């Protein structure tokens, strides 16, 4: 069973943190699915990933294309057709314990300035850890990433 990493964002936007995590995941040789609840958000992330720094390249595609299975990073609203090792959830996209069981890692990124997003992430933590998933909570509040909690 994989682990769930919760990323409490208070300094950097989702797009920046997501790009960093995607680069690290690709360096591990992982395929990744980025899950968001609405297509418009995925389209915005798609544009942001293509227009990142000139020295970075994150090969990816939006789900629903002819080559979903070949995408190293697939942006999707639900199940991923690229056989991912890792799922990254943004904007409260749901993650089930069954997802965690079949993956190396699940990353849940949430906006620490949005009380509803924080409450939703708390609920996800409780649900997933109650189902036996191992979870780690990371915060960037101090200016660098620090592990603040870990489930047994």
Q: State how many domains the chain has.
A: 1
Q: Beta strand pairing status for 134-139 and 146-150?
A: antiparallel
d(CA 83, CA 72): 9
pLDDT digits (tens, 9 = 90+) for 109-152: 999 999 999 999 999 999 999 999 999 999 998 889 999 999 97
Chain mean position to CA 71? 16
Whole-model pTM: value is 0.94
Full domain range(s) for residue 128:
3-150
Domain CATH for 74: 3.40.50.10110
Q: In what order do the strands lie in the sheet with 146-150?
A: 61-62, 73-76, 32-35, 86-89, 105-111, 3-9, 134-139, 146-150
**CA-wise closest residue to 137 among 114, 107, 111:** 107
């Amino acid at each position: 069973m994989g682990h769930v990493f919760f990323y409490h964002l208070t300094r950097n936007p989702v797009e920046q943190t997501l790009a960093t995590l995607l680069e690290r995941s690709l360096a591990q040789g992982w395929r990744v699915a980025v899950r968001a609840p609405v297509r418009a958000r995925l389209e915005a992330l798609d544009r942001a990933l293509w227009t990142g720094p000139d020295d970075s390249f994150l090969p990816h595609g939006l789900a629903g294309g002819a080559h979903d299975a070949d995408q190293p990073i697939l942006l999707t609203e639900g199940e991923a057709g690229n056989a991912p090792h890792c799922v990254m959830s943004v904007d409260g996209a749901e993650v089930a314990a069954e997802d965690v069981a079949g993956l190396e890692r699940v990353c849940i990124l949430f906006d620490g300035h949005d009380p509803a997003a924080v409450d939703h992430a708390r609920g996800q933590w409780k649900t997933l850890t109650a189902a036996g998933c191992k979870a780690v909570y990371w915060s960037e509040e101090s200016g660098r990433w620090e592990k603040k909690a870990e489930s047994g």
